[in-house]
Structure 1
Amino acid sequence: MLKPVAVLSLLLTTSSLAAQEAPPPPVSAATSDVSAGVAYLMDLYGLSQSEADERISLEEEVSAFATQLKSSNPDGFGGIWIEHSPVYKIVVAVKDNTDAQALRKMVSPQMRRYLQTKKVKFSEAEIEVRIDRVIQALLPLNINYVSYYEHKNDSLVIETSLDSGVGLIRQALPQDLMSFVQIKKGSVPSQMQATGMQSGDGVYGGWSFSDSTADASRYVCSFAFNAKDNLNRPIILTAAHCANNPRIYYQRSGVPHWVSLTFEKEWIGPGTKYDYQFHRTDGLNNGAWVWFDNGPGKIDFKGFRPSDDHTLDSSKNIIASQSAEGYYAVKGTWGYYDQKVGQVLCKSGRSTGLTCGQITHGYYTFNGIKGWIETGLSSAFIYAVSGDSGGAVFTEPTTAGGIKAAGIVTAATIHDPTRNAKGEVNFSGDERPCLPFMEGNSSYPDVGPDCKMIHMPIDYVDDQQLITIVTQ
């Protein structure tokens, strides 16, 4: 059954490993013969490694081409996205009579093989204006909804979990926007300066933290990336909706002890497109590393009911090509305008470890504000749950272990793989709840397309003041 899952402050009862911080990073990043993103595409679509490698290799060119077209033809460019199924294609949306052959000559021969054009009603600029009008019209309703733009049918889809919300939204919209909008009932995802330091203590992206309670089993959120503030002081990023008094329990580095990080602005909350806060880490070891857990105990989630223990499903979340644990090296950033539908992103979080999916929607509205990115179509058993909030979202790791910082985990929805919509246990539990085949299954009448995760693009962190992600 599809349920909204709070990745905000659910306090998790964890395994014995919960009381340990990750080991310090190595001299070099984790490496593998097959990158996590390539393994994800191979798993989800049944591709050969060479086919998946080729698709991943084109993602940066797709983003660069979009930037070029938006600059050179702002009134005619309607967007760009990747489709992986039933056949692989890179689609350029155009409003005007742009010459398709001229577009093809602008890209590499490798990308040219897959490039297609699609005539659309609106340019990207016009889409933005219309979405802004919708958001303003719905603001007085004070109801939870999400929205995302579907290029395939030139429409904005609005989803609300309230039966009454569909009617309220329809009444609030200006008449000239009605043909632009589709309204339906769906699931609205939920938001999922140190003291006491000892020599050798550090903090890195992908680690998790507790709230102010001195209880090593009460982990509430994850860290994203190390950074520098406008005064070049060391800080670490997490989600704004997480506890603003993070505490880390250190065990591997010596005598067990707690380290508390002091609160430092910015702490950006509801009603904005920002979901981040940062904390000073003076005196702690830090660097351009993101920890990941890909081991047999990686799922730290008990489920929707006390009897559901998904920690036992950890082996189903493992990405076979990656090591059981390790660090990726942050080599750069991948901002909002770089992130296009169909591109592969991965995340590292406390509760589900390393998982990968692909961008399913941009122009995503959450908390009444556009500018979020939605990912889904994950091949993971469980994609993201409570405790993953604040975790690192990044481009798929290269075989050399390099990544680019893409965002901070904000919210998610998941399917309960063991029960149907009536709460009955009639599945074996072996199904991967994030795969598209769950949609339309008779035992899951309320299931949407698949598991979703929402993140705040990483370039939003310096909108208030200069913050620089630490990179190698």
Structure 2
Amino acid sequence: MIAALDSRQKLMTRVVLIAASAVFSLSAAAQNRDIVAEKYSDTYKISTTEATQRLAASREAGKLQRRIAADNPETFAGLYIEHSPEFQIVVLFTKDPQRNLAKYTQSRLYSAKIAPRSLEMLLAVQEEVGEQLSKSGIRFESGIDIKKSEVELRVLDASRAREVLAKLLAAADFIKIHETTGFPQPTALVGGNKVSGNTINCTMGFNVVEPATRELGIVTAGHCDNNLTYSNSTLQLLYQNENDAGIYDVQWNKQRIIGTPKQQKNEIVVEGSPESIVSETPSVDLAVGMPVCKSGATTGYTCGEVADINAATEDYNGLPARYVRARSADELEMNAGGDSGGPVFSGEAGHRSAYGIVHARGAGDRINHLYFMPIERLSILGISTLTSPFKIEGAPDVSGPSPSIPVNVNFNGYPRFPVDLTLEVISCPAGWTCTGGTKRYTTNIPSPMTFTWGCDSSAPDWPKHFRVRTSLKDASGITTDSVDTNIACTGPALGSAHQRMSSHAAPRAGIE
């Protein structure tokens, strides 16, 4: 969301984005970059063109994974993406892998392999492991290693865990236990910056909308303070609701509006460049190896790959937890204190998709790993990611009898009301006086916005043709592109009464 500029910000040519984690300088060159493809190409030493193609293939693989899993729960054993030495998408089945894969794709990017057990079985065993350890009061982190077809378990005391799980381990030799020095910790930091609270500071995530009310807001992590101030400004956020336990770590806020509200668009800012978010990618469409990026107030822009879609712990604020774990290919730091709530996203240029928001960082040998809450869990608060810009989709040509003709202006997105519709007359019949003007809509309504075009019912020689141009501007200053509409006034309705104007007066038409 691009904020309104004050005089000091104008001198600095800086733009504040509500959905972003910081204030960045913009340049024309930066806006033309595909930063996700650039990061991927740098990591794997390939061209940005090939990087873009791989990113698109990865997203399609996630969607295909969902279909295969739904059709073959007993034999599907998982899907993962390999990026080096060659890019390939590996699909695992417990039997007839080549024949099963051929039902879905013939692409050379895909290969099929045999696996000893189904993903369904792995998830069931992971759940049983969690239940037994939780009953015994043992802290843990568990996950699924798709490539090895194993359940991974990390605990502080491996001997104690083996004792509790003895019977299960005897029946399932694919549970691998490792000792760790700690567990994922929410990445909030006392004394950080960017979004300031009374005790901790975090990062704002995506702009969101509450569909039931059409009200705009912004999200961050649930474990962040509930009274936040957007950094580098005096903007106070108005806390709405949160869910901060188990699989949820999210809160949403509205603007505390004093004067002109800050603009809210379907954008985030990464390394100085605005990135439009056009979709949500739920966790069922994520695949191991899929590229992901995040923006955070502390560590900035980092990218990596999905390592585990089922990273589980025994407790987050009193309830069993499950998040998505990501890591960088070279094990560099993915996030740190103060990044909580930041946007996690990916996708090729023009198709950026929201994947989730930052929840935690790892510990021990996973200290550099990122844990994020999948984006579909925003729905627990009755909100969803803002993925559509405010724009006019069209204002269809109309015709009808005088004196009043309704004209619909169809729009997309969620403007902040009141909204002003401005009408300019482009074409007016000879001898007529035509007037434009502005109409204000104060109620938060869905599309379309309708205005009435009035044409003098006493005029002769029907029909009369007009051409008008309309644009919309919301209360935060977002202005749409204009569209043209042809209006044909066909004369007085049959049986209507009208009063003829004096002979010297010109016929009139205009917005009512």
SS of structure 2 residue aligned to 1:227 = strand
Distance between the aligned counterparts of 1:30 and 1:466, measured in 2? Answer: 35
- List aligned pairs for 1:60-79, cutoff 5 A: 60-79=59-78
1:40 Cα deviation after fit: 2.4
Aligned to 1:261: 237
Aligned to 2:146: 151
1:380 Cα deviation after fit: 8.8
Identify if the C-alpha distance between structure 1 residues 184 and 409 changes in structure 2 by more than 3 Å, giving closer, same or farther. same
SS of structure 2 residue aligned to 1:259 = coil
Aligned to 2:16: 23
Aligned to 2:378: 461
Aligned to 2:32: 32
Distance between the aligned counterparts of 1:77 and 1:353, measured in 2? Answer: 37
- The one-letter code matched in structure 2 to 1:39 is E
TM-score normalised by length of structure 2: 0.63
Aligned to 2:325: 374
| Selected match of 2:194 from 204, 208, 216 | 208
Aligned to 1:242: 224
| Selected match of 2:264 from 287, 303, 307 | 287
Identify if the C-alpha distance between structure 1 residues 21 and 171 changes in structure 2 by more than 3 Å, giving closer, same or farther. farther
- List aligned pairs for 1:290-369, cutoff 5 A: 290-294=267-271, 325-368=272-315, 369=320
Distance between the aligned counterparts of 2:361 and 2:101, measured in 1? Answer: 37
| Selected match of 2:175 from 171, 181, 197 | 181
1:208 Cα deviation after fit: 3.1
- The one-letter code matched in structure 1 to 2:300 is G
1:105 Cα deviation after fit: 5.5
Distance between the aligned counterparts of 1:403 and 1:281, measured in 2? Answer: 25
Distance between the aligned counterparts of 1:281 and 1:234, measured in 2? Answer: 8
Aligned to 2:41: 42
CA RMSD of the aligned region, Å?
A: 2.9
- The one-letter code matched in structure 1 to 2:238 is T
Q: Deviations over 1:127-178 (max 9, x none)?
A: 2221111111111343442211112222111123x3xx21222122252345
Distance between the aligned counterparts of 1:405 and 1:259, measured in 2? Answer: 25
Aligned to 2:473: none
1:221 Cα deviation after fit: 0.2
Query: Is the 8 Å Cα contact of residues 77 and 92 (structure 2) preserved in structure 1?
Result: yes
- The one-letter code matched in structure 2 to 1:388 is D
| Selected match of 1:104 from 102, 105, 124 | 102
Aligned to 1:412: 361
Aligned to 1:127: 122
1:250 Cα deviation after fit: 4.4
Distance between the aligned counterparts of 1:290 and 1:167, measured in 2? Answer: 49
Identify if the C-alpha distance between structure 1 residues 292 and 450 changes in structure 2 by more than 3 Å, giving closer, same or farther. same
Structure 1 residue runs without a partner (length 5+): 1-19, 193-206, 214-218, 252-257, 295-324, 415-446
Aligned to 1:233: 215
Distance between the aligned counterparts of 2:14 and 2:336, measured in 1? Answer: 20
Identify if the C-alpha distance between structure 1 residues 375 and 29 changes in structure 2 by more than 3 Å, giving closer, same or farther. farther
- The one-letter code matched in structure 2 to 1:139 is S
Distance between the aligned counterparts of 1:231 and 1:342, measured in 2? Answer: 38
Distance between the aligned counterparts of 1:136 and 1:124, measured in 2? Answer: 19
Higher relative strand content: 2
Aligned to 1:202: none
Distance between the aligned counterparts of 1:261 and 1:31, measured in 2? Answer: 28
Q: Deviations over 1:225-259 (max 9, x none)?
A: 111224332221111111121122444xxxxxx33
- List aligned pairs for 1:425-464, cutoff 5 A: 448=365, 451-462=368-379, 464=380
Q: Deviations over 1:343-378 (max 9, x none)?
A: 111111101111111111121113543531111125
Structure 1 consecutive aligned stretches of length 4 or more whose deviation exceeds 6 Å: none
Percent identical: 24
1:449 Cα deviation after fit: 6.9
Distance between the aligned counterparts of 1:60 and 1:249, measured in 2? Answer: 34
Distance between the aligned counterparts of 2:232 and 2:35, measured in 1? Answer: 29
Distance between the aligned counterparts of 1:22 and 1:141, measured in 2? Answer: 52
1:87 Cα deviation after fit: 2.7
- The one-letter code matched in structure 2 to 1:181 is I
Aligned to 2:435: none
Query: Is the 8 Å Cα contact of residues 359 and 376 (structure 1) preserved in structure 2?
Result: yes
Identify if the C-alpha distance between structure 1 residues 54 and 77 changes in structure 2 by more than 3 Å, giving closer, same or farther. same
Larger RCO of the pair (alpha carbons < 8 Å, separation 6+): 1
Aligned to 1:223: 204
Q: Deviations over 1:366-399 (max 9, x none)?
A: 3543531111125696421110011000114x34
Determine whether 1:172 maps to 2:161: no
1:22 Cα deviation after fit: 5.1
Aligned to 2:335: 384
SS of structure 1 residue aligned to 2:355 = strand
Aligned pairs, number: 353
Identify if the C-alpha distance between structure 1 residues 24 and 185 changes in structure 2 by more than 3 Å, giving closer, same or farther. closer
Distance between the aligned counterparts of 1:30 and 1:380, measured in 2? Answer: 27
Query: Is the 8 Å Cα contact of residues 79 and 146 (structure 2) preserved in structure 1?
Result: no
Identify if the C-alpha distance between structure 1 residues 21 and 209 changes in structure 2 by more than 3 Å, giving closer, same or farther. farther
SS of structure 2 residue aligned to 1:71 = helix
Identify if the C-alpha distance between structure 1 residues 455 and 191 changes in structure 2 by more than 3 Å, giving closer, same or farther. same
Query: Is the 8 Å Cα contact of residues 355 and 380 (structure 1) preserved in structure 2?
Result: no
Distance between the aligned counterparts of 1:21 and 1:350, measured in 2? Answer: 17
Determine whether 1:273 maps to 2:247: yes
Identify if the C-alpha distance between structure 1 residues 372 and 413 changes in structure 2 by more than 3 Å, giving closer, same or farther. closer
TM-score normalised by length of structure 1: 0.68
- The one-letter code matched in structure 2 to 1:184 is H
SS of structure 1 residue aligned to 2:31 = coil
1:455 Cα deviation after fit: 0.3
Distance between the aligned counterparts of 1:21 and 1:168, measured in 2? Answer: 56
- The one-letter code matched in structure 1 to 2:354 is A
SS of structure 2 residue aligned to 1:86 = coil
Q: Deviations over 1:185-229 (max 9, x none)?
A: 23523111xxxxxxxxxxxxxx9310137xxxxx71011111122
Larger Cα-atom Rg? 2
Determine whether 1:140 maps to 2:140: no
Query: Is the 8 Å Cα contact of residues 40 and 51 (structure 2) preserved in structure 1?
Result: yes
Identify if the C-alpha distance between structure 1 residues 405 and 42 changes in structure 2 by more than 3 Å, giving closer, same or farther. same
